[in-house]
Amino acid sequence: MKKAGFLVLLWLVSVHSYAQDALFGVDSSRTTNHGLIINANFSGDIPAADMAKRFGDDFRIGGAITYKTKKNWIFGAKCDFIVGNKIKEDSLMINIKDKYSGPFNGKLVELINNNGNRVGVPVYERGYMIALQAGKIINFNKEHPDDGLMLLTSAGFIQHKINIYNSNKDVPALWGDMLKGYDRLTNGWFIEQYAGYCYFAKNKLLNFNIGLDAMLGFTKDRRDYLFDVMRTDNKQRYDVLFGIRAGWMIPIFRHSSEEISFE
């Protein structure tokens, strides 16, 4: 996954000059723009450290609002939602399973409901990240001053848990506050580094960034007691995500004439 990300990044840089000249022509009079950028992001992540002990690969989808200065400095805020469907906690709900329950496959836990029937309860990874961002676009082509290597640092709050989907509410041990003894609610602070290629097209539609990011979270379990393992879990966690991120940008730039334009 990491190798594929590097190859995509190198390919985009290599075709940038050709694409600008061949498709849209070169405009040597273009100057650096400044203004707001609305960004829709999608990323695929590989977990590491404590995150990998609990979850499999996940996805993030979210958005950001940033401000780009004439010097290509970037400041703003972002929010990502974390979505995954692979849980690695083998002991999850082991205290309410019976000896005939099938092995936990990371997606369903077999339990007995109110009617004495065996049901599969789906489990998912869910979470979110909120952060402030700051960084810079390093330009390598004066004829396209808004494009280049985007470096961003984000710092903020992360929370994740195991979402236990007892939709029919037919398993008494998973009603209401009882769920809190199983969901592994975890949160804390994080820092994230992103490096990617940023491109603003002259056709005013194909504005994007793509690159690699790495997140380190300093988190703790926030539940008082875990019913299935019959203990608390308040040790310091180090949650790590390595990802490939792509984003579609809507710039609202203010040119030197002070007229606002949607790029």
Please give the chain's pLDDT, 263 residues, in tens: 544 454 444 444 443 443 343 333 344 446 888 999 999 999 999 999 999 999 999 999 999 999 999 999 999 999 999 999 999 998 999 999 988 888 899 999 999 988 888 999 999 999 999 999 999 999 998 888 999 999 999 999 999 999 999 888 889 889 888 999 999 999 999 999 999 999 998 776 789 999 999 999 999 999 999 999 999 998 999 999 999 999 999 999 875 444 444 44
> Using an 8 Å Cβ cutoff, are 46 and 243 in contact?
yes
Q: Which pLDDT value is given to residue 12?
A: 43
Q: Which pLDDT value is given to residue 201?
A: 86
Q: Which pLDDT value is given to residue 86?
A: 96
Token output for 79: 């929010």
Parallel, antiparallel, or unpaired: how do β-strands 260-262 and 237-254 relate? antiparallel
Angle at alpha carbon of residue 142, lines to 137 and 145, rounded to 5° = 40
Q: What is the pTM of this model?
A: 0.83
Q: Which pLDDT value is given to residue 255?
A: 59
Token output for 85: 């469907």
Q: Which pLDDT value is given to residue 262?
A: 46
Token output for 260: 């606002």
CA dist., res. 169 & res. 213, Å (int): 39
Residue labelled with tokens 């849980």? 87
Token output for 65: 């609002």
Token output for 101: 């329950």
CA dist., res. 51 & res. 181, Å (int): 19
218 Cβ contact partners less than 8 Å away, ≥ 6 residues apart = 188, 189, 190, 236, 237, 238
